[in-house]
A = this chain, B = another copy of it.
Amino acid sequence: MMKLAKKDILGIADMSVDEINLILETAESFLEISMRDIKKVPTLRGKSIINLFYEASTRTRTSFEIAGKRLSADTINISASTSSTVKGETLIDTARNLEAMNPDIIVLRHSAAGAPHMLASLVKQSIINAGDGAHEHPSQALLDMMTIREKKGKIAGLKVALVGDILHSRVARSNIYGLSKMGAEVVVAGPATMLPRDIEKMGVAAFTKIEDAIADADVVMMLRIQLERQKQNIFPSLREYAQHYCLTRKNIKLARPDAIVMHPGPMNRGVEISPDIADDPGISVILDQVNNGVAVRMALLYLLSGGNE
């Protein structure tokens, strides 16, 4: 088996197709561990993994923690609210201190784009970017690609529509990089204020009407409207947003008959996605994404530990 020649997982932008394929194949092979009666293998026994989260998170932190524990690693959680950041220490000093405690991998979520990259250049441990500002969220894009491949048998040649706040979404950014590399046609839709100006440079067609994006799509990926950003007035009202961009029984008909619907969660039901779509097991693969997420994170922890050497 190929070895992952990376110290860190910082983003999809700097990942090769071979590396993506290696991670997805490793994740696929790990999928069955979580289905066993005894969901634990000794692979990473004696390894220490620190989840360093400067932003609140249930699913991503829990997913990494479960992934680590199923590989028998020791997992240590640090959340910013209870950390010495209260005392004003810089991220750099926190990281150097953690480094000196000799963990093997640090999983970092931070509100500043580039924070994991800075850490990766400073400490000897492997860094996994679990979301940095509006920049990248590579493990999410990997689990999304894994889910598409699982449901569609391939990624190349598919039309994937991303709908919502493309500008502020690290999920969108990582998926655009990844899906394009893997040969998919990526289109996006959202209010003009939520589309990056240079989006076409990423090889992506952009629309302000959801209908234009999801027409004939094989995959429709709805993004979460970040309610906490509403105060910035980048869109007039949730009601108006939902009127134009909510995925519904009506507009989903524009997509291919066998289209799948994805969402990175947490969902705002009735805002960006109508509940009957979200809960329709014939269309929605949202919970498959979560399930695959544990396997993708197991693969990342395993590959960064040199587990396949």
Contact = CB atoms under 8 A, between A and B. Distances in A.
A239 to B, nearest CB: 16
Interface in A9-45: 34-40, 45
A112 interface: no
Contact of A93 (B70, B85, B90, B265): B265
Copies in the complex: 3
A151 interface: no
Given A45-B38, A46-B37, A100 B58 contact: no
B267 A93 contact: yes
Contacts of A48: 39, 66, 69-70
Contacts of A63: 101
Interface in A40-91: 40, 45-48, 50, 53, 56-59, 62-63, 65-66, 69-70, 74, 76, 78-79, 81-90
B88 A266 contact: yes
Interface stretch (A130-138, A152-160, A287-295): A287-295
Contacts of A50: 62
Given A48-B66, A101-B66, A290-B100, A57 B84 contact: yes
Interface residues of A, number: 64
A152 B158 CA distance: 65
Contact of A56 (B59, B65, B84): B84
B88 A290 contact: no
A62 B267 contact: no
A1 interface: no
Nearest to A294: B101
A63 to B, nearest CB: 6
A227 B102 contact: no
Given A36-B46, A39-B48, A46-B37, A78 B62 contact: yes
Contact of A58 (B66, B94, B102, B288): B94
Contacts of A78: 58, 62
B58 A83 contact: yes
A6 interface: no
